[in-house]
Structure 1
Amino acid sequence: MLSFLLSALLLTSAAPKTDWRTPYELGNGNTTTTHAACIAYYQRLDAAYPEITLREAGTTDSGRPLHEVVISLDGDADPASVRAKGRQVVFIQNGIHPGEPEGIDAAMMLARDYVQQPKLRRQLTDITLVIIPIYNVDGSLNRNSTTRANQNGPESYGFRGNARNLDLNRDYIKQDSRNARAFAQLFQRWQPDVFVDTHTSDGADYQYTMTLIATQQSKLHPALRSYLNGQLLPAVYGGMAKRKTPMTPYVDFEGRTPDARGLTGFMESPRYSTGYTTLFNTIGFVTETHMLKAYAPRVKAQYDFLELLVQAVAQQKDALAQARAAAQQQTAIQTTFPLAWKLDTTAADKVTFLGYEGKLKPSDISGQPRLYYDRKAPYSRQIPYYNTFQPTVQVQRPAAYLIPQAWSEVLERLRLSGVQLRRLRQDTTLTADVYYVQDYKTGQRPYEGHYVHTAVELRTAPQPVAFLKGDYVAVLNQPAARYLIETLEPQATDSFFAWGFFDSVLQQKEYFSDYVFEDVAADLLRRDPALRERLEKLKQQNPAFAASGAAQLDWVYRQSPNYEKTHLRYPVVRWMGGALPVE
């Protein structure tokens, strides 16, 4: 019996410890995990640790599931329950561009360390961490070693486009991909306080390993803007500097080099991840590690930033909660909403920038002067940072929007983004503000599967509009108010109109034969002297119009009862107040 116990003890002590190194850690420092290995690793964590939950969160265009990882110290992975406990939610998304995979590898290590290291565990006492391991599953399966021509490793990686060749970081509003539709539902379930989207940058050469895009401050309500600039950003910038990985704002600039005119802030419209999340008063970050640095320090920079961010949120949780609550209250009473922005070139801060001198030398290809950055000539220089934007288009908040049920693609996207909709209980004619599209410009080439409209000009006309039983009403007294305004107001940068969801109203369905309508138009002018007077005045003012019989005939047609009143009429109606017969 004694010999048996000794043998068992020896076997137990000789048993190997579980190897929790990630695929990246098992590599040579210049390799990244595959999608299969990534999910398998999280499955191991889920099986070993009750604090970690891995589950499917929807479908992607490749047909593979989108996964979410939830880390809660008490194992609670239910969003409503987590919220009821007063916890802050930090949401990390990786691999939207799978050729930029540092965040994928960093988050795997971080998830493990949060359950294995007591010091890190304490940071999650009042925080639930949600991780999308790889968002663009489709692109991660399309693995290669060449498409990131400007990038220094890893040895192989995924492709930027998804299975439909969409850039998913342009798809948050239009939601053409199943990936984006799954994300919208997941985001709305969690309603995170802070969101992070991990990337690798292109562009200039400089000394930094990490650059950062924070939610554009001009778009935030004052309480959130004050908290972001006064507490959260100083904490993560200071923490990264202490870890010998100083950061700078994302290196976007005009001119030949960053120091020529200074850096400019990034205005992320709602097509982008953080542009979408800002519509719901969630602070967003896009981390951009520098493409020319070696892969290992890029992974470390992502790990350090994510860990420092969680640490800062844990320390500042009360301030963050108060700021976000104040922003939601401000949204509820806000009467004017901006729809488009421009950079304020009169407002600039000074930042210390660690760059390399940009110089010229003859090109080996063309013989013409070409730019290069001289790494033997580093500098530390104060340069301007323009990070204030001013609204160029604003709109007054309506009480509600009325949306005919025929526009099912739009209604589906509203539901996915958490919009509360009600339906008319009977056929109803309402007098309301109606938009007519006066003018717009359309891109000559497709952009992410659409011909995008810009410079939209509208005419507003109060008129009776017939709605059918079952048409939809979206009241603005709900958390999705800002989302509704920026998607349903046609002149907004990323409105559903801009993306072409309402293009059929731009096409005329009935017209006339000129030889027939000539007599009808002449009779109309005889019976309406005021109309004749308007026509003569236009001819006097516009010689080209006066010289064109077709233009004059078309003008008369458009003033006649024969012209279809729905041509160029935007079908979503602004309702400014009063009772509606809703279910």
Structure 2
Amino acid sequence: MPGIFPARLLFTLAALSPVVVHAKDTWITPAEASSFRTTPSYAETVAYLRRLADAAPGTLRMETFGTTPEGRPMTVMIAAKDGDLTPAKAHAAGKPVILVQAGIHPGEIEGKDAGLMLLRDIAVTGRLPHLLDHAVLVYIPVYSVDGHENSGPYFRINQNGPEKMGFRGQSQYLNLNRDYVKADAPETRAWLTLWNTWRPDLLVDIHTTDGADYQPDLTWYAEDPHKLPPSIAAWQGHAFAGDAIPRFEKMGHIASPYLEFRDGRDITKGIENFGSGPRFSTGYAAIRNRAGLLIETHMLKPYAVRVRGSYDVVRSVLETVDEDPAALLKASKEADAWAASLSAGPEASVPVTFKKDPSPKPFTLKGFAFTQTKSDISGDIWVRYDTSQKKTYEIQSWNDLLPDVSAPLPAAWAIPPQWTVVIDRLDAHGIPYTRLATATRVKVVRDELTQPTWADKPFEGHHMLRDVAIAPTREDMTLPAGTVIVRADNTDAVLALNLLDARAPDSLLRWGYLDAIFEAKEYGEPRVLEALARKMMAEDPSLKTAFEAKVKSDPAFAANARARLMFFFERSPWYTAQKVGAYPVVRLNAATLQTLPPSL
């Protein structure tokens, strides 16, 4: 049954819990006071954090870093020794910055209650002061504050407590963990400003699973090495699988890499990569040249176990950093240098999509026995787990990825000034650029986009561009005064490419911000197009042959009078002059970049 948990592990966790607390204890957290039946409101959470900050002014600082759509302040806690409570002091002291965030999905709120306990034990009770010896902790207790306050008992049907939990979307019904690149939400804009202010070395994002039942109380995910700067891939391999997770398990937990089952009805068919990308937290950290760790406590374990799991895994990560802070700083520095050097190659490119490695690896799953019954309700398979019967399964893992589509990395991108929606996103992400002071005629590479198809249903408020044919073309182009020039010889090169290139799955084009380029604004009357078609066929017999072949082979086309006429119109200068599908973000090579006039 949901909620049943191995007695040995519960006993171990109780023994290893941060402190034995009683209602009369001064620093008991609201969740502890309720024996983890409930989680505090945002006001109660902020009040507790304020008490902590007041009790340890040299170690803790509480700040507001944004305002939600419903007008609530977004709170962040800074924890550091020696007064290193500002970005300047932290970086001057040579301390890595660890950004830990909770409540981006407010129903998955363990990280908030674990964070209150951890800050208390670091700064007030003195139980774990060493965690800040060589690092600075930037902690967001609740990222989606409006979603947190939209609380009730019926939002997470798959989850075992607390009694009430927040809603997955924020107040504009946006999922903030799909918003990192497109940055629609005010919360995301605030977070990006916080990121650019602190430039953290590691992001830890705390969630709760959905899906199957199994023994581990926590699963974790780090981006595939092919998505990362080499130095970050190497550091993560050692720090997570090699150190922090084994340390976490020695505290009495059972951990596993992220478990995305290929078939939820039959866990023995193996696991695969869930397909993270820049829209997600760790995917975004990757294109910012930084390490990232996704934590997923298991939904069916008691809330007390999930909170303590969050507490212990963050503690383990901080202890890993504390043991060798220079290694993380070195990885970040080398990652920035790597990104800045990518465009120096004559044929520079960066992978933007990834495919599953076809060669699986053996994987041991600590699970439970399960049954499969044909359902007379759904007509599908009904899966039920028996948590009284532990069972180990030897299965296959397709978690590893390989690069798929790569995007060209130019010396610079040029964005005409009228495309303010693109420039606005550059500003949100803090991507540096200059502007041309005068109009300039230059040689560029422009992508011509044809055959666009869009998703049938909206996703995060957008009908995404699902597919498009991309053909690079070289042309002479006049860049108007005010054109934005984004150079690629800096640390934000991979970030800019994922925002600006048509091939990138989370680019602004793919999210639908430039759909207008696919719309012809001038059109022809049918009687005029009839005459045009006859003239074009008379002048080009091969066109007549192609048209007749399409009429024969495509019944839908043959039955559509407008489509038959558009066959000719779209091949005429009357249509091509409109530059339908001409992508407005163009690429400049190094030679062209050097010829540009002074910038604003």
TM over 0.5: yes
Q: What is the CA–CA distance in structure 2 between the aligned matches of 1:537 and 1:364, rounded to whole Å? A: 56
Please list the CA deviations of residues 229-257 of structure 1 after superposition, one character each: whole Å capped at 9, or x if unmatched. 13332212211211110200111011245
Question: Are positions 1:344 and 2:354 aligned together?
Answer: no
- 1:494-505 → structure 2 map (5 Å cutoff): 494-505=506-517
The answer to whether the 8 Å contact 2:436/2:480 transfers is yes
Q: How does 1:20-35 map to 2 (within 5 A)?
A: 20-35=27-42
Q: Structure 2 residue aligned with 1:463, among 472, 475, 479? A: 475
Which 5+ residue runs of structure 2 have no aligned equivalent? Answer: 1-22, 343-347
For the Cα contact (< 8 Å) 2:410–2:587, is it kept in 1? yes
How far is 1:197 from its partner?
Answer: 0.9
Distance 1:445 1:232 in 2: 38
% identical equivalent positions? 34
3-state secondary structure, aligned to 2:453? strand
Contact 1:93/1:198, CA 8 A, preserved across alignment: yes
Q: Distance in 2 between matches of 1:256 and 1:38?
A: 36
- Which residue of structure 2 lines up, in the alignment, with residue 290 of structure 1? 298
Partners of 1:364 and 1:525 in 2: CA distance? 61
Q: Match of 2:423? A: 411
Asked if 1:401 corresponds to 2:417, the answer is no
TM normalised by structure 2 equals 0.89
Q: Deviations over 1:116-164 (max 9, x none)?
A: 3546222212200001110000111111011111111101121111101
State the Cα distance separating 1:524 from its structure 2 match.
6.5
Aligned-partner residue type, residue 373 of structure 1: Y
Q: 1:382 to 1:562 in 2, by over 3 A?
A: same
1:218 equivalenced with 2:230 (yes/no):
no
- TM-score (norm: length of structure 1): 0.91
CA RMSD of aligned residues (A): 2.3
Q: CA–CA distance in 2 between the matches of 1:317 and 1:216?
A: 23
> SS in structure 2 opposite 1:195?
strand
Match 1:538 to one of 519, 533, 546: 546
Match of 1:39 among 29, 43, 46: 46
Give 1:342 deviation, angstroms: 1.2
Pair 369,385 (structure 1): closer, same or farther in 2 beyond 3 Å: closer
- Indicate the structure (1 or 2) with the bigger Cα radius of gyration: 1
Distance 1:256 1:56 in 2: 41
Residue 565 (structure 1) aligned with residue 578 (structure 2): yes
What displacement does 1:83 show? 1.4
Instruction: State the number of aligned residues.
Output: 563
Contact 2:37 2:161 in 1 (8 A): yes
User: How much does 1:437 deviate?
Assistant: 1.1
Amino acid at match of 2:75: H
1:8 aligned partner = none
* 1:424/1:244 CA distance change after superposition, 3 Å: same
CA 1:228/1:60 → structure 2, altered by over 3 Å: closer, same or farther? same
What is the letter of the counterpart of residue 523 of structure 2? Y
1:358 partner amino acid: F
> Is the counterpart of residue 379 in structure 1 residue 379 in structure 2?
no
Farther-moved stretch of structure 1 (319-328 vs 20-29): 319-328
Contact 1:216 1:267 in 2 (8 A): no
1:218–1:388 Cα contact (<8 Å) kept? no
Query: Which of 363-372 and 139-148 deviates more?
Result: 363-372
What is the DSSP-based 3-state SS (H/G/I as helix, E as strand, rest coil) of the residue aligned with 1:460? strand
How far has the Cα of 1:364 moved from its partner?
A: 8.3
Is the Cα–Cα contact under 8 Å of residues 486 and 494 in structure 1 kept in the other structure?
A: yes
Task: Choose from 185, 188, 201 the match for 1:193.
Answer: 201
CA contact (8 A) 1:213 1:266 kept: no
How many Å apart are 1:465 and its aligned residue?
Answer: 2.5
Relative to structure 1, the CA distance from residue 382 to residue 260 in structure 2 (aligned partners, 3 Å threshold; closer, same or farther) is closer
Deviation sequence 1:463-504 (CA, Å, 0-9, x none):
223322112111111211101111111121111111001011
CA positional deviation for 1:328: 2.2
Q: Is the 8 A contact 1:232 1:313 kept in 2?
A: no
User: Is the counterpart of residue 114 in structure 1 residue 122 in structure 2?
Assistant: yes
Distance 1:399 1:367 in 2: 56
Q: Is the 8 A contact 2:537 2:543 kept in 1?
A: no
Q: Pick from 46, 58, 61 the counterpart of residue 66 of structure 2.
A: 58
Secondary structure of 2:158 counterpart: coil
SS in 1 for 2:318: helix
Give the structure 1 partner of residue 111 of structure 2.
103
Q: Do residues 82 (structure 1) and 87 (structure 2) align?
A: no
Q: How many angstroms apart in 2 are the aligned matches of 1:225 and 1:384?
A: 23
Q: What are structure 1's unaligned runs of at least 5 residues? A: 1-15
Instruction: Look up the SS of the partner of 1:562 in the other structure.
Output: helix
1:138 and 2:146 correspond: yes
Aligned to 2:312: 304
Contact 2:373 2:382 in 1 (8 A): yes
| Paired AA for residue 40 in structure 2 | T
Would the aligned equivalents of 1:399 and 1:476 in 2 still touch at CA under 8 Å? yes
Aligned to 2:4: none
Counterparts of 1:105-184 in structure 2 under 5 Å? 105-118=113-126, 120-184=128-192
| AA partner of residue 445 (structure 1) | K
C-alpha distance in structure 2 between counterparts of 1:156 and 1:549, whole Å: 58
Distance 1:367 1:346, change over 3 A: closer
Q: Counterpart of 2:351 in structure 1: which amino acid?
A: P
Other structure's SS at 1:438 match: strand
Alignment CA distance shift 1:397-1:72 (3 Å): same
Q: Per the alignment, in what secondary structure is the counterpart of residue 363 of structure 2?
A: strand
Aligned equivalent of 1:574: 587
- Shifted more, 556-565 versus 324-333: the winner is 556-565
Cα gap change, 1:392 to 1:513, in 2 (>3 Å): same
